[in-house]
Amino acid sequence: MIPETVSSNGTTPTDPGKAGTLADAVEEMFDAFAAHGPTADELAVAAYFDFAHCLTVARRLRDMASEMEALIELVTGYSADPEAVASFRFPD
């Protein structure tokens, strides 16, 4: 049996009684966002995640390029030098 976690105020994290309060707080937050736009903190968080996404895409592109070079070496039997990379065509 998993013990139930109780917070300092005596309620559990999944207490159904909190749902109304949480919904009201979220509604107020969305109303403020709609009226005033994002805060500086929200823009900073969004910029951080955009940057992290760019780093992930760059890493995936490097991985894909490495796999393509390996495929060129496998198919041709030679190292994937710049000339081989430029002349090799992957089938559609």
Predicted confidence (pLDDT) at residue 50 exceeds the cutoff of 50 = yes
Stretch (H or E) spanning 11: none
Question: Is the pTM above the cut of 0.85?
Answer: no
Residue 2, pLDDT score: 45
Output the furthest CA–CA distance in the chain (Å, rounded). Answer: 70
Predicted confidence (pLDDT) at residue 6 exceeds the cutoff of 60 = no
Report the candidate in 84, 83, 65, 62 with the shortest Cα–Cα distance to residue 73: 84
Q: What residue segments make up the domains of the chain, in order of their start? A: 39-92
Please report, for residues 9, 37, 67, 71, 84, the alpha-carbon distance to residue 29 in angstroms, rounded to integers and kept in the order given: 24, 11, 46, 51, 57
- Count Cβ atoms below 10 Å from residue 65 Cβ, excluding itself: 12
Residues 10-46: tens digit of each pLDDT? 655 566 677 788 788 888 888 887 888 777 888 888 8
